[in-house]
Structures are given as C-alpha cells and as structure tokens.
C-alpha cells in the first residue's frame, strides 16, 4: 500500500471489561485500516513501565501502571494511510469530557483515569511501541482484497 504507516492501539483493562473490543475493532476496520496483529494479554509491570517511560515523573504514573496491571489488555497493530493521525481523531481527547460524541472516548468514557484506549501519537512512537509489544515475526504481512476499493 502506498504511503502506508503503522500505529499501535491498546484497549485498556476497562475497555476489555466493558466488552468494547469488538466495537473498537469494528470502527478501525470500517474506516479502512488493516489489522496486522493482535494480542489478548496481561502486560507485565516491566513492559508497562517501559511503555509509559515518558510519564515516569508524573504523579499519576504509579496509579497508571497499577491500573494497566489490573486486567487484560488487547494490543494491536494497524496499518493504513495516515492511520496515526486518524487514529488519534477516532480515539478522541485523553480527557473524555473534552472528547466529541462519535469518538471512542466521547462515546464510552467518563473519567480520564479510565479512558479505555491508547493510541500512538506519532509514527516514531508507533514504531517504538510496536517493537516493545510485538516480536517482528509476529507481525503479519498481507493485502486485504478491499484495499483496492479503499485506496487509489
């Protein structure tokens, strides 16, 4: 696919517990993005501390790691044209109160501490996060037959 980029999306424990996995996948698929890999897992404390390393000095860091350790996470890799930017729009603002209806957080979240989903904020962070959560041999390379109908 021309100009294809990857992004990392993780459905957090509260999103899994609310039964939103299928709805979130559906939204990304309906937008035309390609699901490249997915894991249903308990993330380790080391993995989470590395993933959120940029937040380590923030007062909520320990609570964030504890929350992410509290249940299952669905880690996914998606590909598509401008998937990082579009994915951020689809997720909505980090604070659900600032998210518009129609976004994932705008439709399904109330508090910032339970925002159900993480999405990479740049192509560089996507590549770093994907490498952290997935081994290279886990990533699937295929062309969806609908791609010719979605992309010029």
Considering 12, 27, 105, 118, which one is annotated as catalytic? 118
Tell me the pLDDT tens digit for each residue of 99-123. 999 999 999 999 988 999 999 999 9
Q: What percent of the chain has pLDDT over 90?
A: 84
Residue 88 lies in a domain: yes
Residue 152 lies in a domain: no
Residue 145 lies in a domain: no
CB atoms under 10 Å from CB of 51, counted, come to 21
Residue 117 lies in a domain: yes
Is 51 among the catalytic positions? no
pLDDT at 141: 80
98 three-state secondary structure: helix
Does the pLDDT at position 1 exceed 60? no
Q: How far is CA 108 from CA 113, 143, 144, in A?
A: 13, 31, 29
Given a contact cutoff of 8 angstroms between Cβ atoms, the answer to whether 72 and 13 are in contact is: yes
Which stretches of 4-146 are DSSP H helices?
Answer: 13-17, 21-31, 45-51, 61-69, 83-91, 104-108, 123-133
Check which CATH number belongs to the domain holding 85 and give it: 3.30.70.141
Residue 142 lies in a domain: no
Q: What's the number of domains the chain is made of? A: 1
pLDDT band at residue 63 under the 50/70/90 scheme: very high
Mean of the per-residue pLDDT values for the chain? 93
Judged by average pLDDT, the poorest of 2-11, 12-21, 25-34 is: 2-11
Domain of residue 54, residue span:
5-137
């Amino acid at each position: 696919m021309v100009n294809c980029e990857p992004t990392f999306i993780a459905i957090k424990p509260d999103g899994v517990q609310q039964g939103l996995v299928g709805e979130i996948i559906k939204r990304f698929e309906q937008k035309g993005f390609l699901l490249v890999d997915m894991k249903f897992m308990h993330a380790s404390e080391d993995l989470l501390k590395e993933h959120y390393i940029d937040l380590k000095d923030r007062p909520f860091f320990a609570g964030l790691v504890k929350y992410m350790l509290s249940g299952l996470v669905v880690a996914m890799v998606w590909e598509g044209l401008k998937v990082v930017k579009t994915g951020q729009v689809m997720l909505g603002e980090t604070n659900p109160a600032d998210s518009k209806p129609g976004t994932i957080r705008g439709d399904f979240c109330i508090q910032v501490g339970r925002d159900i989903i993480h999405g990479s904020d740049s192509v560089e962070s996507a590549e770093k996060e994907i490498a952290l959560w997935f081994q290279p041999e886990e990533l699937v390379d295929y062309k969806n037959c609908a791609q010719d109908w979605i992309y010029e």
